[in-house]
Amino acid sequence: MATNRIFNFAAGPAILPLPVLEEAQRDLVALPGVGMSVMEISHRSKPFEAVIQECEANIRKLAGIPENYHVMFLQGGATLQFAMVPLNLLAAGETADYITTGSWSEKALKEAKKVGNTNVAFTAKADNFTRIPKQEELKLTPNAVYVHMAGNETIHGVEFHQPPDVGSVPLITDASSHMLSRPLDIAKYAGIYAGAQKNIGPAGCTLVILRDDLLQKAKANRAYEKLPIMIQYGPHAEEKSLHNTPPAFAIYVMNLVTRWLLKLGGLAEMEKINIRKAEKLYAEIDRTGFYRGHARKEARSRMNIPFRLPKEELEDKFVKEAKAAGMDGLKGHRSVGGLRASIYNAFPEEGIDALVAFMQEFEKKNG
Ligand SMILES: *Cc1c(COP(=O)(O)O)cnc(C)c1O
């Protein structure tokens, strides 16, 4: 049935597991036992309650999220979290630390600056965002209200394989493009957020995981009561993402994705597959020097792999010919240029093999 699907290397919205799409298609018109589409039922109905509760339970199980963390399904994308984090947590007279390792963490910083005092604890800008900080490079503020980072920079292809040590200061990570790609040590983080459309579902839903003491801290912030209710974490956390109508269809598809991950064996299994896929592609990038990876080796992302060719004309040619060969979404982000292969959880290993074979052919003809 899926013979007309090509290899989709897009950064986001991105590829979803085929069995998930097929199940959503099969049940689109009528959920089994319900007789209506998931798009047509009340978000307060029993069938939808079952969907959102299972989705939360599966995410807790997959990621190992303890009881003292809230799991929320919000809207507004990761971009709204850039604002919600400081609006809730950064009170007058306090300072928030930001580690910037690429475009997304820079955008997060820009939003926080509108709200309160910030400190750039580290920036890799001078290195063209090719690396993550060494522990001793971090200039952390003692008693910062939180430290913000982006666990995986989708555009620059830079990933933290271990979180930085920030002592007892709460660590908040934008995990949009690597959430559920591998186990994360949740206890190291006080807050995690991820737009679903990269690795966990369709656009329209943002997963937010927040430790309860941060929620209590937000509520004690004097500015909190003045925030629009949709910006406050409290109602979303306390009403289990049902303060208003949630993105029901996106949550339904996310739930199917979590089932797919559980069936596969969970995040440790997923990580093994992701390591194998990424290593295959990096091995080809490093093979002769014709291709050049953007990120330094120790900071290489397993999800987003930006790379360059010797000449820009060749890059355009590569994108065009790859597309003709059934590989789409390989053009790099305009800020980095070159090419980028996004190889999220759902991206099949055959697609990596196809790209590697194509790269070898292309080098033979143009190298
Ligand atoms: C895509 C992306 C964002 C922006 O997500 P939206 O859902 O479009 O707001 C933020 N951070 C990272 C790491 C991303 O990959």
Q: Per residue in 219-259, pLDDT tens?
A: 999 999 999 999 999 999 999 999 999 999 999 999 999 99
Measured CA to CA, the distance from residue 99 to residue 161 in angstroms comes to 15
How large is the average pLDDT for residues 342-358?
98
- 149 in Cβ contact with 157 (< 8 Å): no
How large is the average pLDDT for residues 73-89?
98
The per-residue pLDDT for range 277-294, each reduced to its tens digit, is: 999 999 999 999 999 999
Eight-state DSSP code of residue 127: G
Q: How far is the CA of 14 from the centre of ligand 1 (A)?
A: 12
Q: Over 70: is that where the pLDDT of 53 sits?
A: yes
Q: How far is the CA of 271 from the centre of ligand 1 (A)?
A: 21
Question: Given pLDDT bands bounded at 50, 70 and 90, which one contains residue 89?
Answer: very high
Secondary structure element (H or E) that encloses residue 305, with its range: strand 304-308
pTM above 0.95, yes or no: yes
Q: How far is the CA of 133 from the centre of ligand 1 (A)?
A: 21
Q: Over 90: is that where the pLDDT of 28 sits?
A: yes
Residue type, 236: H
With a 6 Å cutoff on the Cβ, whether 78 touches ligand 1 is yes
- Dihedral sign computed on CA atoms, order 101, 102, 108, 111: positive
Domains 23-263 and 266-366 share a fold: no
Q: Which two tokens stand for residue 230?
A: 């949709």
Backbone angles phi, psi at 339, to 5 degrees: -120, 160
- Dihedral sign computed on CA atoms, order 291, 294, 300, 301: negative
Measured CA to CA, the distance from residue 171 to residue 160 in angstroms comes to 13
How large is the average pLDDT for residues 256-266?
98
The residue ranges of every structural domain in the chain are 23-263, 266-366
Residue nearest to atom 7 of ligand 1 (CA): 77
Q: Which residues are catalytic?
A: 104, 174, 198
**CATH for 23-263, among 3.40.605.10, 2.40.128.260, 3.40.640.10, 3.40.470.10?**
3.40.640.10
CATH topology assigned to domain 266-366: Aspartate Aminotransferase, domain 1 (3.90.1150)
With a 6 Å cutoff on the Cβ, whether 192 touches ligand 1 is no
The per-residue pLDDT for range 146-174, each reduced to its tens digit, is: 999 999 999 999 999 999 999 999 999 99
Residue-by-residue DSSP string for 206-238:
EEEEEEHHHHHHHHHSTTGGGS-TTT-HHHHHH
**3 Cβ contact partners less than 8 Å away, ≥ 6 residues apart:** none
With a 6 Å cutoff on the Cβ, whether 100 touches ligand 1 is no
With a 6 Å cutoff on the Cβ, whether 198 touches ligand 1 is yes
Task: Centre a 10 Å sphere on the Cβ of residue 26 and count the other Cβ atoms it contains.
Answer: 10
With a 6 Å cutoff on the Cβ, whether 123 touches ligand 1 is no
